[in-house]
Structure 1
Amino acid sequence: MNNRVVITGLGVVAPNGVGLGQFTEAIKNGKSGIEFHPHLKEKGFSCCIGGIPKVTEEQKLEYLTALQLRGFNSTSILYGCMAAIDAWKDAGFLVDENTYLDYDSGLIFGTGTSGIEKFRESIYKIDEQKVRRLGSTSVVQTMASGISAYLGGILGFGNQVTTNSSACTTGTEALLMGFERIKTGKAKRMLVGSSSDSSLYSWGGFDAMRVMTFKHNETPEKGSRPMSETASGFVPGSGAGALVLESLESALERNAPIYAEVLGGNINSGGQRNGGTLTAPNADAVQKCIEDAITDASISARHIDAINGHLTATSKDSLEIENWTKALQRKGQDFPFINSLKSQIGHCLAASGAIESVASVLQIKNQFVFPNINCEDVHPEISNLISTEKIPTKFINKELNIIAKASFGFGDVNACVIFKKYS
């Protein structure tokens, strides 16, 4: 089978906006979600800024029951449940524990780490010989597939229900895995996405690696600077993004609103060869990932109107732009528009691919290009490759037909997806 696959629902929990409406307005206006966090300074972090979604206790109760929230402290699972449930409702479905088991619907929802706070709490209780006080949810909160376990039960899915984990590539990989399942007729609908927590224990390792900026503790909104000459490292973020993928036939049967179509994509690895390492990309593999995604989507590189890049505000931004120019064989003024959501929300790690895919789809649906903030001083290595006009710093109303979204993760793993305006 070769089913067409469309997107019928979106959900997002991001540092600059919780919920689709708030998030859409934020990215249009270039609103930063990066703030100074005193508790990071208290713990001796060099980078004391980050992106944390603003979720109230009342909001939590809209998604999880008081019983589920008892002893619950996994923000990764919380953000993921919120984004996924919103996306499912946005696609026109009910969330009801009494619904029939749905064998036509499944989910692939990824994460990097889950329940580190719960792990820490559990270790202390075990060390103090208080094992029986761990609580009944300590296992599901700390197992890697905790997010899909929660969602699978809340939504009653009977198709594949699983969690993937591929560092910063996780969300884009989940989307493409769900896409393949529908394309080949193994499911009618797949809820896909990824989440990442805002734990000190997740962010601390990156701070120790000195890959996060320490220069903007006094000016947090200026800290995340992808493609900028004055970029000094990434800013950590957290949250979740979710998309409902559906066969076109199923969507039309339901008369469902359609945001965009997924034309195709590709997932590969650089094998940590030819310059690729645990933390650096193999440039040849990145270019091949993009080229093969274009081939899978049955388009020409010239058809791409805009790119939502990975672009983390590190020294590898210039290399990423170079890889795009080589893969597309387009440079200078001929290059598509390109933006990085990380300028507004920081690097949301495992959640980044999903949140950024939601932003990409919103651009297609609403026909705009969101601005790159903090990029008035484009890095000269980048401006030598592409026109700075293609790196917009202001909101642009723009007719968009095709957007490419890519993610490149620790371990030298890559994913690229091609979205198209539905017609």
Structure 2
Amino acid sequence: MSRRVVVTGLGVCAPNGVGIADFTYAMQNGKSGIRFQPKLEELNFGCQIAGEPLVKDNLVNRYFTPLQLRGLNASGIVYGVIAGLDAWKDAGLPLADNDTPDWDAGLVFGTGILGVDKFRESIHLVDEKNVRRLGSTTVLQTMASGISAYLGGLIGCGNQVTTNSSACTTGTEAILMAYDRIASGKSERMLAGSCSDSGPYVWGGFDAMRILPRNHNDNPTAASRPMSATASGFVPGSGAGALVLESLESAKARGAKIYAEVLGGAINSGGQRAEGSMTAPNNEAVQRCIIEAVQNAGISPSDIDAINGHLTATAKDAQEIENWCRALERSGGDFPYVNSFKGLFGHCLAAAGSIESVATILQFGHGQLFGNVNCEDVHPEIAERIDVSRIPTKTFSYDPKFIAKASFGFGDVNACVIFGKCND
């Protein structure tokens, strides 16, 4: 039989808060992390705003040794290590000793584009025929699994240590991959999360596609407008989120605090068939993913109290709400409460699913649902399908039992995880 899996640790490095305390305050109070970026103006970007974590040097020094910091030029790795180690510490778990790894601990930590600034630096040195100046850490910083390698070594994981990459679905997929490993009895505890680099070399391609807002450079906090009639594109973001998943037996045996239970979920793809493409979802696949997630969690669609959607502030928001309505067979005033956190920190790409999952889970412990910002003018197609009261604009007291969190990514890939309040 499948074992029950719970969340016992959280860590985050987000544009609107580094560390759980600051992040929680920001989410509760609608504090935005989207800011004007002078470097984007200098490079003639149309969109000159972004969500980027504010990480001070003295904070970084707590997580890396001077030797590890030498030549370190990969912001995603910095974000991921901060979030990952914070989550491990929050769970009350020790680092393995120097002689033996923890055979029951592993991690799945995903990313999209990692070490892009290090790549640029390396290409320049190679082209200048200065290969010897690349340094011994270049490979670690530029390989996709660099983040899992860093964290696996720092923690001392002896179980599976790997990196996944599925565009915007990466973080949510990582959680479900870690969940499956524990539920099947192959591990007792797993660190799950994802990270994304900052900077123009990551965000430039999206600016070229003209899917980023260009009319809010002088008003950054109003730019990201999920589910709004005046949404004009997603604001790029970066950072990392991390969750410690653990078997319920292990958590109870050591008296760990439990944030929530991972009840199950589903991962699929639309195969870029029908209306699906590299950048657009196959609606049938999205609906099937949600339906299968609910079934896998062993609950009914009517049990879902709230949804944390993908909802990026693009033309696809209305279609996503339609897909939720069809999958859950709920609409109007019967629709669950729904929120999108991208209004506060933008679309953090590969890190989106994990950062948003951390925020989703925090709602259980605080007995709240966090509000949507910049959504006073609900998109008319959304207002036709669900009552606007289901889209709260302010944080309010609520005791959710079941929350569905979904991510839908480039390449027509989908993931939906069901979190539940744990009463054991």
Q: What does the per-residue CA deviation read over 1:41-97, in whole Å, with 9 as the maximum and x for residues that have no partner?
A: 100100000001010000001111111011101011110000000000000013466
Aligned to 1:28: 28
Q: What does the per-residue CA deviation read over 1:160-205, in whole Å, with 9 as the maximum and x for residues that have no partner?
A: 0000000000000000000000000000001000000112111000
Aligned to 1:171: 171
Whole-angstrom CA distance in 2 between matches of 1:394 and 1:58: 34
Cα shift at 1:340: 0.3
3-state SS of paired residue (1:114): coil
Aligned to 2:50: 50
Whole-angstrom CA distance in 2 between matches of 1:237 and 1:15: 7
Aligned to 1:239: 239
Q: What does the per-residue CA deviation read over 1:346-403, in whole Å, with 9 as the maximum and x for residues that have no partner?
A: 0000000000000110011211010100000000000000011000001110011000
3-state SS of paired residue (2:385): coil
Aligned to 2:256: 256
Asked if the contact 1:97–1:155 (Cα under 8 Å) also holds between the matched residues in 2, the reply is no
1:109 to 1:184, Cα distance in 2 relative to 1, 3 A = same
Cα shift at 1:2: 1.1
Which amino acid is 1:332 matched to?
A: G
Which amino acid is 1:146 matched to?
A: G
Aligned to 1:134: 134
Aligned to 1:120: 120
Aligned to 1:321: 321
Aligned to 2:410: 410
Aligned to 1:143: 143
Whole-angstrom CA distance in 2 between matches of 1:107 and 1:398: 32
TM-score by length of 1: 0.99
**Paired residue total:** 423
Whole-angstrom CA distance in 1 between matches of 2:98 and 2:60: 21
Cα shift at 1:341: 0.5
Cα shift at 1:99: 6.5
Aligned to 1:309: 309
Whole-angstrom CA distance in 1 between matches of 2:384 and 2:405: 23
Aligned to 1:298: 298
3-state SS of paired residue (2:64): coil
Asked if the contact 1:99–1:156 (Cα under 8 Å) also holds between the matched residues in 2, the reply is no
Aligned to 1:159: 159
Whole-angstrom CA distance in 2 between matches of 1:288 and 1:89: 37
Which amino acid is 1:141 matched to?
A: Q
Whole-angstrom CA distance in 1 between matches of 2:99 and 2:64: 17
Whole-angstrom CA distance in 2 between matches of 1:326 and 1:99: 54
Whole-angstrom CA distance in 2 between matches of 1:263 and 1:384: 31
Structure 1, unpaired ranges of 5+: none
Asked if the contact 1:8–1:245 (Cα under 8 Å) also holds between the matched residues in 2, the reply is yes
Whole-angstrom CA distance in 1 between matches of 2:199 and 2:346: 15
5 Å-filtered alignment, 1:324-343, equals: 324-343=324-343
Which amino acid is 2:181 matched to?
A: R
3-state SS of paired residue (1:258): coil
Whole-angstrom CA distance in 2 between matches of 1:98 and 1:25: 37
Cα shift at 1:100: 3.1
3-state SS of paired residue (1:384): helix
Whole-angstrom CA distance in 2 between matches of 1:389 and 1:220: 26
Aligned to 1:271: 271
Whole-angstrom CA distance in 1 between matches of 2:96 and 2:252: 23
Q: What does the per-residue CA deviation read over 1:1-33, in whole Å, with 9 as the maximum and x for residues that have no partner?
A: 411000000000000000000000100101110
Whole-angstrom CA distance in 2 between matches of 1:94 and 1:79: 20
Which amino acid is 1:10 matched to?
A: L
Asked if the contact 1:16–1:31 (Cα under 8 Å) also holds between the matched residues in 2, the reply is yes
Aligned to 1:189: 189
Aligned to 1:420: 420
Where in structure 1 do 4 or more consecutive aligned residues deviate above 6 Å? Answer: none
3-state SS of paired residue (2:358): helix
Q: What does the per-residue CA deviation read over 1:126-151, in whole Å, with 9 as the maximum and x for residues that have no partner?
A: 11110000011000000010000101
Whole-angstrom CA distance in 2 between matches of 1:377 and 1:263: 34
Asked if the contact 1:85–1:95 (Cα under 8 Å) also holds between the matched residues in 2, the reply is no
Asked if the contact 2:288–2:327 (Cα under 8 Å) also holds between the matched residues in 1, the reply is yes
Aligned to 1:389: 389
TM-score by length of 2: 0.99
Whole-angstrom CA distance in 2 between matches of 1:357 and 1:177: 14
Whole-angstrom CA distance in 1 between matches of 2:97 and 2:229: 52
1:97 to 1:136, Cα distance in 2 relative to 1, 3 A = farther
5 Å-filtered alignment, 1:43-82, equals: 43-82=43-82
Aligned to 2:369: 369
Asked if the contact 1:175–1:193 (Cα under 8 Å) also holds between the matched residues in 2, the reply is yes
Which amino acid is 1:209 matched to?
A: M
Which amino acid is 2:228 matched to?
A: S
Matched, 1:38 2:38: yes
Whole-angstrom CA distance in 1 between matches of 2:69 and 2:323: 45
Asked if the contact 1:364–1:403 (Cα under 8 Å) also holds between the matched residues in 2, the reply is no
5 Å-filtered alignment, 1:82-97, equals: 82-95=82-95
Asked if the contact 2:373–2:393 (Cα under 8 Å) also holds between the matched residues in 1, the reply is yes
Whole-angstrom CA distance in 1 between matches of 2:99 and 2:402: 37
Question: RMSD of the TM alignment (CA)?
Answer: 0.8
